[in-house]
Structure 1
Amino acid sequence: MNQFDLRAALQRQGEDEKRYRALFDSMDEGFCVIEFLDGPHGPDSDYIHIEANAAYARHAGIENVVGQKLRDMVPDEADSWAARYGAVLRTGVPIRFEQELVATGRYLSLSSFRLEPPERRQVAVLFQDITERRRAEHALQTLNQTLETRVAEALAEQRVLAEVVEGASALVAVADTQYRWLALNSAAIDAFEAIFGKRPKVGDTLFDLLPDDPAAIESAKGLWDRALGGEEFVVTGPMDAADPDTRYFEVRSSPLRDPDGTIVGAFQFIYDVTERLSEQARLATAEEALRQSQKMEAVGQLTGGLAHDFNNLLAGISGAFEMIGARLAQGRTSDVERYLAAGQGAARRAAALTHRLLAFSRRQTLTPRPLVINRLLTDLSELVRRTMGASITVETIAASGLWPTLVDDNQLENAILNLCINARDAMPDGGRITIETGNKWLDRRTAADHGLEPGQYVTVCVSDTGSGIDKAILDRVFDPFFTTKPIGQGTGLGLSMVYGFARQSHGHVRIYSEVGQGTMVCLYLPRHFGEAEEGAPAAAPVASHPAAGETILVVDDEPTVRMLIVDSLTELGYACAEAADGPSALTVLQGSAPIDLLITDVGLPGGLNGRQVADAARALRPGLKALFITGYAENAVLNHGHIEPGMEVLTKPFAIRDLTERVERLLRR
Structure 2
Amino acid sequence: MDEAQLRSRLAALEAENARLRAGTAPGRAEICALLEAVKDHAIVVIDLDGIVVEWGEGARAVFGWTRDAMLGESLARVFTPEDQAAGRPRDEIAEALREGRAPDERWHVRADGSRFWACGEMRPLRDQTGRVVGLVKSLSDRTEARHTSQELRASESRYQTLFEAIDAGFCVVEMKFDETGKASDYLFLETNPAFEIQTGLRNAAGHWMRELAPEHEEHWFRTYGDVALTGKPARFENVAEALGRWYDVHALRIGDPAKRHVAILFNDISNRRRAELALQRLTESLQQEVETRTRDRNQLWELSTDIMLRCRLDGRILAVNPAWADTLGWTESQLIGANILDLIHPDDIKATRDAMTYCKRGEALSRFENRYRTRGGGYRWIDWSARAADEVLNAVGRDISEDKERIAALERAEAQLRQSQKMEAVGQLTGGLAHDFNNLLTSITGSLDLLQARLDQGRQDEASRYIGTAQSAASRAAALTHRLLAFSRRQTLDPKPTDVNRLVAGMEDIVRRTVGPAIELTVSADPGLWPTLVDPNQLENALLNLCINARDAMPGGGRLTVETANRWLDAKAAGTFDVAPGQYIALSVSDTGAGMTADVAAKAFDPFFTTKPLGMGTGLGLSMIYGFARQTGGQVRIYSEPGQGTTVSLYLPRHRYDEAIVHGVAAVAPVTPAGQGETVLVVDDEPAIRMVITETLQDLGYHALEATDGAGGLSILNSDAHIDLLVTDVGLPGGMNGRQMADAARVRRPTLKVLFITGYAENAVVGNGNLDPGMHVMSKPFAIDSLAVRIKQLIDSP
Bin of the TM-score, shorter chain as denominator length: 0.5 to 0.7
CA–CA distance in structure 2, aligned partners of residues 182 and 239 of structure 1: 17
SS at 1:513's partner residue? strand
Check if 1:197 corresponds to 2:333.
Answer: yes
Give me the whole-angstrom Cα distance separating, in 1, the residues matched to 2:554 and 2:667. Answer: 43
| 1:335 counterpart SS class | helix
Equivalent residue letter for 1:584: G
Instruction: Describe the shift of the 1:276–1:220 C-alpha distance in structure 2 as closer, same or farther (beyond 3 A).
Output: closer
- The 1:530/1:232 distance shift into structure 2, 3 A limit, reads farther
For each residue in 1:55-81, what CA deviation from the matched residue of structure 2 results, as whole angstroms up to 9, or x when unmatched?
A: xxxxxxxxxxxxxxxxxxxxxxxxxxx
1:239 aligns with 2:372: yes
- TM-score normalised by structure 1 residue count: 0.67
Counterpart amino acid of residue 754 in structure 2: A
The one-letter code matched in structure 2 to 1:552 is V
Q: Which residue of 2 aligns with 1:250?
A: 383
Displacement of 1:411: 0.8
Q: Does 1:374 align with 2:510?
A: no
Query: Would you say 1:624 and 2:757 are equivalent positions?
Result: no
Q: Is the 8 Å Cα contact of residues 196 and 210 (structure 1) preserved in structure 2?
A: no
Letter in structure 1 aligned against 2:535: D
User: Match for residue 333 of structure 1?
Assistant: 460
Matched with 1:148 is none
Match of 1:144 in 2: none
- Which of 356, 372, 377 pairs up with 2:483? 356
Bigger relative contact order, structure 1 or 2 (CA pairs below 8 A, ≥6 apart): 1
Establish whether residue 514 from structure 1 lines up as the match of residue 641 from structure 2. Answer: yes
Instruction: Give the distance between the partners of 1:470 and 1:353, measured in 2 at CA.
Output: 28
Q: Distance in 2 between matches of 1:552 and 1:376?
A: 36
Cα deviation, residue 632, structure 1? 2.5
Pair 211,299 (structure 1): closer, same or farther in 2 beyond 3 Å: closer
Q: Tell me which residue corresponds to 1:574.
A: 702
CA distance in 2: counterparts of 1:221 and 1:359, whole angstroms: 52
* Contact 1:192–1:198 under 8 Å retained in 2: no
Cα distance in 1, alignment partners of residues 706 and 416 from structure 2: 50
CA contact (8 A) 2:593 2:645 kept: yes
The one-letter code of the counterpart of 1:587 is: S
Q: Are 1:589 and 2:717 matched, yes or no?
A: yes
Specify whether residues 211 and 557 from structure 1 end up closer, same or farther in structure 2 by C-alpha distance, changes over 3 A only: closer
Measure, in 2, the Cα distance between the counterparts of 1:242 and 1:544.
Answer: 87
Over the aligned positions, Cα root-mean-square deviation in angstroms equals 3.4
Task: Give the C-alpha shift of residue 499 in structure 1.
Answer: 0.6
Aligned to 1:554: 682
Over 3 Å counting, the alpha-carbon distance change for 1:305 and 1:163 in structure 2 is farther
- Answering whether residue 436 of structure 2 is matched by residue 309 of structure 1, we say yes
Change in Cα spacing, 1:541 to 1:632, as seen in structure 2 (3 Å) is closer
Gap change, CA 1:282 and 1:660, over 3 Å in 2: same
Summarize deviations over 1:187-219 as a string: whole Å, max 9, x none. Answer: 47987993663788xxxxxxxx55497998998
Matched, 1:464 2:591: yes
* Equivalent residue letter for 1:238: R
Q: Which amino acid aligns with 2:466?
A: Y
Alignment length, in residue pairs? 494
Q: Secondary structure at the match of 2:751?
A: coil
Residues 537 and 353 of structure 1, relative CA distance in 2, 3 Å threshold: closer
Shift of 1:654: 0.5
Q: Offset at 1:633?
A: 2.3
User: Equivalent residue for 2:398?
Assistant: 271
Query: What CA deviation, in whole Å up to 9, does each residue of 1:567-604 have, x standing for no partner?
Result: 11111111101111112112222222211000011111
1:462 aligned partner, one-letter code: V
Aligned pair partner of 1:321 in 444, 448, 464: 448
Query: How far did residue 534 of structure 1 move?
Result: 3.2
Counterparts of 1:241 and 1:457 in 2: how far apart (Å)? Answer: 59
Aligned match of 1:491 = 618
In the alignment, the residues of structure 2 paired with residue 387 and residue 561 of structure 1 have an alpha-carbon distance, to the nearest angstrom, of 37
Q: Which amino acid aligns with 2:695?
A: D
Whichever of the two has the greater Rg, that structure is 1
Q: Residue 440 of structure 1: which of 567, 578, 602 is its match?
A: 567
AA in 2 matched with 1:223: A
- Change in Cα spacing, 1:244 to 1:450, as seen in structure 2 (3 Å) is farther
**Residue 544 (structure 2) aligns with:** 417
Distance in 1 separating the partners of 2:727 and 2:685: 12
In structure 2, relative to structure 1, the CA distance for the partners of 1:539 and 1:296 (3 Å cut) is closer
Distance 1:585 1:229, change over 3 A: same
Residues 232 and 327 (structure 1), Cα distance of their counterparts in 2 relative to 1, 3 Å cut:
farther
Contact 1:192 1:199 (8 Å CA) reproduced = no
Alignment of 1:49-198 (within 5 A): 169-171=305-307, 187=323, 194=330, 197=333
Q: Tell me the CA shift for residue 641 of structure 1.
A: 4.8
Q: 2:562 and 2:306 mapped to 1: Cα distance?
A: 62
User: Kindly tell me: are residues 196 and 514 of structure 1, through their superposed partners in 2, closer, same or farther at Cα, counting changes over 3 Å?
Assistant: same
Scaled by the length of structure 2, the TM-score of the pair is: 0.57
**Distance in 2 of aligned mates of 1:402 and 1:183:** 73
Q: Does structure 1 conserve the Cα–Cα contact (< 8 Å) formed by 2:521 and 2:559? A: yes
* Cα displacement (A) at 1:551: 0.5
Unaligned runs of at least 5 residues, structure 1: 1-161, 201-208, 257-262
